[in-house]
Amino acid sequence: MQFDKIDKQILNALFLDGRESLSNIGKNVLKSNQKMMSHAGIAKRISKLENMEVLKVQGNISLKNLNYYVAFILMEMKNYEEVKNMVDAYTECPRVFLLAHVNGQYNLIFGVVGQTIDVLRRYINYCGPTNKKGILHSAVIFTSNLVAPKFVPINLFSEVSKEYKCGNICKSCEAYLDDKCEGCGKF
């Protein structure tokens, strides 16, 4: 997929400020004849980029400013079928902000978030992906400071549990029953 100069200018303007008005973006986006784009032209381009699923304008969250903690989980899976099962189970997990296939010793990397280190530990020990079928080896790395990106695309506050996807049932979890965890839909 190739972008022209106008698409790149629009994407850059939205990266700098996703709430910028179309008129202001148009003032800074120049066509090949050095004329400014109209707000209607900008809107059409943005719609085209969204329809192509290249762009999604959304509200992202600063985990650092919320004082939330981050851990990365590296996992080596038994086979590709188990990798697909894990991806299907955790793609919509409210705690997961990064899920990617990787090459090397590990097959998958998860970026997970929690209100405290203790919440992250409980997630990893009780309902996180590290205790699932098909894992040969895993490693957990707790971060001291997530430097970049400053804002993360994660929906922490929907209050909708996704436990049906991962197979963990909060109401039968020891940490949940002992009031040590409020479940995945409670940030």
- pTM confidence score: 0.82
Query: For residues 22 and 36, what is the distance between their CA atoms, to the nearest angstrom?
Result: 12
3-state secondary structure of 75: strand
Residues of the chain with CATH 3.30.70.920: 69-177
Give the torsion sign (CA, 151, 139, 119, 97).
positive
Phi, psi of 52 (to 5 degrees): -80, 0
Would you say domain 69-177 falls under CATH 3.40.50.10300? no
Order the strands of the 135-142 sheet from edge to edge.
96-101, 108-114, 69-77, 135-142
Residue written as tokens 């978030």? 113
Count CB-CB contacts under 10 A for residue 30: 14
Q: What is the pLDDT of residue 51?
A: 95
State the amino acid at position 68 in one-letter form: Y
Count CB-CB contacts under 10 A for residue 10: 24
Q: Half-sphere exposure (CA, 13 Å, Cβ side) for 64? A: 9
Q: Half-sphere exposure (CA, 13 Å, Cβ side) for 4? A: 7
Q: What is the pLDDT of residue 161?
A: 65
Give the right CATH number for 5-51 from 2.60.40, 3.30.1360, 1.10.10, 1.10.3470.
1.10.10
Q: With beta carbons less than 8 A apart as the criterion, state whether 152 and 97 touch.
A: yes
Query: Which residues touch 5 (CB under 8 Å, ≥6 apart)?
Result: 32
Residues of the chain with CATH 1.10.10: 5-51
Q: What is the pLDDT of residue 165?
A: 72
Query: For residues 58 and 66, what is the distance between their CA atoms, to the nearest angstrom?
Result: 18
Per residue of the chain (187 residues), give pLDDT as tens: 678 899 999 999 999 999 999 999 998 888 877 788 898 999 999 999 999 999 999 989 999 999 999 999 999 999 999 999 999 988 888 889 999 999 999 999 999 998 888 888 888 887 788 888 899 999 999 998 889 999 999 887 777 666 667 777 667 666 666 666 666 656 5
